[in-house]
Every structure is written in C-alpha cells, then in structure tokens.
Structure 1
Amino acid sequence: MKQEAFSVSTVPTPSVILDRQKLIANCRRMAARAAGAGVKLRPHLKTAKSAEVAALATSGQFGGITVSTLAELRYFFEHGIRDMTYAVGITPGKMPVIEGFIEQGAVIRIVLDSAGMVDELAARESGFKGRVPVLIEIDCGGHRAGVAAEGVELLDIARRIAGVPGLVLDGVLTHAGHSYHAADAGAREAIAVAERDAAVLAAGRLREAGHACPTVSIGSTPTALTGIALDGVTEIRPGVYVFFDLAQAALGVCSPDDIAVSVVATVIGQHRAAGHLLIDAGALALSKDTSAGEFRQHVGYGLVCDLEGRLLDGMHVADAHQEHGFVRCSAGTIDFDRFPVGSRLRILPNHACMTVAPYPEYQVFESMDRPLVQWSKTTGW
C-alpha cells in the first residue's frame, strides 16, 4: 500500500524530520576537512543509522564506515556496505555474527584494549573463520576505555594478537569523547592535539617493535573540526556532524542554523497558571540529554522553533515526562493565543544521536513547500 505523503504540518507527531540540504552541507564540510588534512573519512553512522544518510556521508570517500551495534552492522551490510569498524569493545559472544559477515565478503575491524580479551578470543572452541583485523584502543584522555599510548600493555596486547592465527593487528583507534566538555575553542584544540598525538605515538611504538600498523584512527566531531594538522593519522571517524545539535552549537562547532534534524510536536495543552505549554514530545521523543545546558542556560531538553525552523525567543522544553514536554519561555510569559491546542512546533535536540535513535524512519524535506520523503534507519542492538 502506498504511504501517504505528509508535510511538516500534517505528519503524525512526534516525528523526527531531516533537512536534506543542511545534511548535504554538513557532509561536505567534513569531507573538505578530511581532504584538506590528507586523511580518510570513515563516518560514524551510529548517529544517523540510515543507509540514505550513509550514501551522502560516504560520497566521494573510500566507502568505509563506523558502527556501534550489531544491528547497525547487519543493516549497513544489507544495504551494500562492506568495510566497517565495529567501534565498541569486542566480547567473544559477538564474534559469530561478525565472522558471519566476514565470510560473506565484509571487512570488519574489531576493537579491544586488553591482553585478557585477546586470550578469551583465542580460547573460543569454534576458532576463527578467516582472519579478523584488530584495532587496539588507546586512551587519549577521556578515560572511558583504552590503554596508554606510552604504556607496556600496548606492546603486550600486540604480541598476543600476533600469536593468534585468526587475528591480525590492523592498527590503533582512539576517541576524544571528553571534547564534548571543552569549555572553549582553545580547550577543544588542546584535546584534539592530545588525541592525535596519542594515536600517532602508539602507532610509532608498535612499528618500532616490529608490528605493522596501517590504520591510525581518531574520531570525534569537536576535534575533527578544529583544523589542526593530522600528520601520522590515516582516518577520522566523526559522527554527529551529519546532523549537528545544540551541544555542538554550544561548543562553537556549528551554529543552530546548521542543525539538520528536529522533532515536530503538537501542542496538546495549555497551563496558563503554571506558565507552560504541553506538547506530545516527551522524554522518549526528545531524550533526557541536557548536554547543551553545560554551557548555556535555558536549553532544557531542546530549543523550540516554529514550523519554518525559526527559533522562538526564550522558548525551550523545560521539563519532560515520558510522553509530555513542558514548554516554557525564559524571555517572558508565553503568548498562549499564538500557540493554541493543536498547533505545531519544532524542537532542536541537545544530542541528535540520542534523540533520533528510537524513531523507525526519517521524514525528509528539501524545502518546506514539498512533501516529506521517508528514509530508512535501524534501531536496537
């Protein structure tokens, strides 16, 4: 049955809508950065989880992507992508799925940061089906995962990998996730330098010890867009740049006008005594991420726009219950007559990755006077 053609004013709410022109501009910006730095661009598709977005993000690139879930790996394989880095620490239980795709012709790199995990992989009764490339994760200052670039564990892991017939060391990988908390451009650049230097140092030590290290992979949108030299790096893996969000705008990486995704919501109530509107986009539709609020007041769970995408001065989602959002205005009282029950608003997300994740599809527009087009995406793990 043919799907009904919706507009922004008729699409069921809440829905996540995607501005294709802004998406294209964002993809071109990162592609230009990678080309200027002389590195490959391996976009992290955990943000968009969409084959149509992947086609734009990899246009003119070598075609490789990054994923974070087996669901993403399966979805992108089914949509023709054969070069993927599974950038979450591996465990033996996930290897059968990964090796199944390798047997079908995919190149899938796994990531680990301990000699113990190498031993666990080597001890699997099923053994290995083919050769699995491995990236050693390096801690560049975020302390989420990884080994120190200058530590002894790095070389121990490399030696263990070399002793397992089913594994081959492909290089190193790091991620400066702490750049999302950089107070200013100078702090962001310092983190970017540390990210680059940690990866390059680790790669150099591996090569000096006699190990091949063809891949030196770094990633994070805030650091990728600092403009520092990337000598010694082979690829970058930013993700949220395809959409951007209020957190990136607060960091100075983009402006609110660059944000390509928003959530369309309907006003479902007015509480004049309490001074807020109720909308049908709550915590599940927007997420409860408040990261932009680290640097800016009165953001809450998202800034409010009209249907044309123009920011409404001071209006933000101040609170969110499961299916209810509370819109308040920091610039004064809300003009309730302007926003009757049944009217619509658009919400810019704090963290696009979190906001779009649960939606089954994107509603995509070229311009506001044209019907929305549905783009696929994956969900889950």
Structure 2
Amino acid sequence: MIHVPSLILDVDKCKKNIRDMALKAKEHKVTFRPHFKTHQSLEIGRWFKEHGVNKITVSSLEMAEYFLPEWKDITVAFPTNILEIERINRLAEKIQLNLLIESAETAKFLIENLTNPVGFFIKIDAGYHRTGVQPKDGNIIDDILKISEVSAKLIFKGFLSHSGHTYKCQNKADVLDIHQRCMNTLVELKEKYKNEYSNLILSLGDTPSCSIAEDFEGIDEIRPGNFVFYDLMQNKIGSNAIDHIAVALACPIVAIHDDRNEIVVYGGGVHFSKERLENEKEGTIYGRIVEKNENSWGDLIPDTVIKSLSQEHGIISVSDDQIKNYSIGDYILALPIHSCMTANLMKRYKTTDGKDILMMNSW
C-alpha cells in the first residue's frame, strides 16, 4: 500500500537490463565493470553476480566501503580526494582498490602516504570537459607515470574516460560520434604507452554509448551504470525504450483542480530531483505518468506530465478527458527524468514482487 512517495522497482525489467548489458559485454569481449552509483544496493548488486560480474565501479570511497563486504575489486571513478587517505588505506588493506589520478601532486601524496598497494587509472578528458587530463598533455601523463614507478604501492592500471557529454545528445548518431572520438583518444594513448605498459587497460563508461554502440575495438572495459534502471533522459537520447525503464515513483494525489486540468501530488524536488527535459510541445517537464496495472505499469498516459516541482509538491498537467480518472487518496506512477538522482534521494525501493530493498545510507 502506498502512503507516501515510494520508488517502485520492477524486478523483471531491472534483471533484463542487467542481463542484456552483460551479454553485450561478453559479445564484444570487454570486461563488464558496472557502475553501482545508480542503484546503491547490495541486494541489486547480487543480481550482477548471476552473470559473472566480479568487479564494480563506485563514485565515492564511502560507497566502496558499503560494497566492500561482497566485492573485492572496486574502482572509485572520481578524482582521488587525498583528504581521505585514512579511508583509502583501510580499503586498500582489504580489497583491490583502484583510484583515479590526474595530477602529479596527487601521485606524490599517495606515494608518501599509502600503507597498502592501490591500482590507479589516469583520468582522461575525452571531450566532456568536467575533469581529467587532456589527451595531448603528455607531460602530465609522463610525470604521473614517472612518480608511480618509484613505489610498488602505486600500480598503473591504464587510462579511463567517461563521455558524460553523450547525455546532452539528441539522437543516436551524435552518441556514436562521441563514442568513436572517445575510443580513438584512448586507443591512441594505448599505442603510445603499450611498449612500457603491456597490460594497460582502456576503460570507458557511459550508458548511452554502451547501450547504442556496437564497436568497442581496442577497449578493454566498460562501466555503464544508469542502464540498470534507464529513464526518460536516456529514452530521449535513444538508449532505451520506455518499457526498459525499471523504476517509477508512486506519488499520492492530495488535490485536484479541474478548472485548470491539474492534479497535485505528494512528490516534489526532494523525491524526483529537479532534472528536466524540454520540448516545443510541452515545454519543461519533470516526469511522465504511466498507466498502473496489477504487477507493474504499462504505457505512457498521453498528454499527462509533471509540469512543475517544488520541495514536496508535484503539479501534473492532465488532459480534459483524463482528469476524471483521478481521485484524492489515489496515487500516480511517474517515470523519472534521471533515475540516478531519484534513487539517490529516495534511498529505498518497493519491488513489484512485494519486497523492500534498502540502499546505502537508508534511514
């Protein structure tokens, strides 16, 4: 029974998304190191083990500690925060920990302060321009590698990149163009350094590229994360169909305004986040409403979207012929724009088969 905003997880859809991506990685002979920042759940993480996954990616050292009891090879795909050196050393004592380095300063600090060996990737900016070493800046790369050579505690694993700018694409062709550019950048680096580091790994990971592309020539590892649930943003890009989306937010209806074809739900920015999509017909939207059925949800309801969010309120625009179908005390099911953000805010799931699944830092 739904009393408050609740994140509903369709287990079958989620497991199919996991299976499909695992099979794709196997088909292309790349290591599948999924990013767990989307689901942040030990239980959901176990579903990956059914497909032979034994290495994962996380977005923080805190998250690595959460997954440590069940995963022994973890890459933290975030620039190393040297202020957390004590936590780094605790983790490195127990697991194969891999960090990201993009400066000589960080490499020097780790050399001086590590108590246990860690692997490291050099983070490469392949066009996203969020962070990372520019691929043409060989001096920084060489400096980092030279520093690491003097210590057995800092072990070079390879080059890693994240093409986050695919999230701004409007079609598959644009995603494939970015993907190809990223691959070319990484492969060129491998050609340059493979004689000195014959086992270096090329690691890339973004859900649009990993979902759409069929060419991973030269890549050793993929790290998609959002694909486990998908969402409306990914659907707009072309990564997934609507029926691949594995989470929906259930929001109680608290008011109905027939005069302006709006319903008010208990479900706002603190539940959905304020991620949005825009189009000429609807303007800005924060989610789409789907039909409810006995075990999950069905098709999108036409012309029914979340038009605005405040902290706790959600305002849903409804068509003339649909508003009569809603009543106070009922609830709607909304597909999120960005499932990673929504899941992170909600901290727990209600599954379509009647279970509660907790996430990291669940209250």
Same fold (TM over 0.5): yes
Q: Which range, TM-score by smaller chain?
A: over 0.9
Deviation at 1:302? 0.4
- Please give the alpha-carbon distance, in whole angstroms, between the structure 1 residues aligned to 2:75 and 2:280: 32
Alignment pair present for 1:358 and 2:345 = yes
Q: How far is the alpha carbon of 1:295 from its aligned partner?
A: 9.1
Match of 2:86 in 1: 96
Partner residue, 2:305: 316
- Distance of 2:64 and 2:338 partners within structure 1: 22
Per-residue CA deviations over 1:212-250 (Å, capped at 9, x if unaligned) read 543211100111123332222111000000100001110
Q: Which amino acid aligns with 1:375?
A: I
Counterpart residue number, 1:201: 188
Per the alignment, residue 315 of structure 2 pairs with 326
The answer for the alignment partner of 2:179 in structure 1 is 192
| Aligned equivalent of 1:68 | 59
Deviation, 1:36, is: 1.1
SS in 2 for 1:293: strand
Question: Equivalent pairs: percent with the same residue?
Answer: 26
2:200 maps to 214
For the residue of structure 2 that corresponds to 1:316, the secondary structure is: strand
Distance in 2 between residues matched to 1:24 and 1:350, nearest whole Å: 20
The corresponding residue for 1:369 is none
Cα distance in 2 for partners of 1:238, 1:58 equals: 16
TM-score scaled by length of structure 1 = 0.89
Deviations 1:330-366, CA, capped at 9 Å, x for gaps: xx33643321111111010000000110223211124
**CA distance in 2: counterparts of 1:320 and 1:222, whole angstroms:** 27
2:182 and 2:281 map into 1 onto residues whose CA distance is 26
Unmatched segments (≥5 aa) in structure 2? none
Which residue number in structure 1 is paired with residue 17 of structure 2?
A: 26
Q: Given that residues 298 and 314 in structure 1 are in contact (C-alpha distance below 8 angstroms), is that contact kept between their aligned partners in structure 2?
A: no
Count of residues paired in the alignment: 357
CA positional deviation for 1:207: 2.2
Tell me the distance in 2 between the aligned counterparts of 1:61 and 1:199.
26
Cα separation, 2, equivalents of 1:299 and 1:187: 23
Question: Does 2:147 align with 1:157?
Answer: no
1:286-321 CA deviation, whole Å, 9 max, x = no partner? Answer: 11001x436984561100123222321110110001
Is it true that 1:342 corresponds to 2:342 in the alignment? Answer: no
Instruction: Decide which moves more: 242-251 or 296-305.
Output: 296-305
The verdict on how the C-alpha distance between 1:69 and 1:294 changes in structure 2, with shifts beyond 3 A counting, is: farther
Question: Does structure 2 conserve the Cα–Cα contact (< 8 Å) formed by 1:43 and 1:58?
Answer: no
Aligned to 1:4: none
The alpha carbon displacement at 1:37 in A equals 0.7
RMSD, matched Cα: 1.9
Which residue is 1:224 aligned to?
210
Q: CA deviation at 1:25?
A: 1.0
Q: TM-score, normalised by structure 2?
A: 0.93
Matched residues in 2 for 1:35 and 1:22: separation?
20
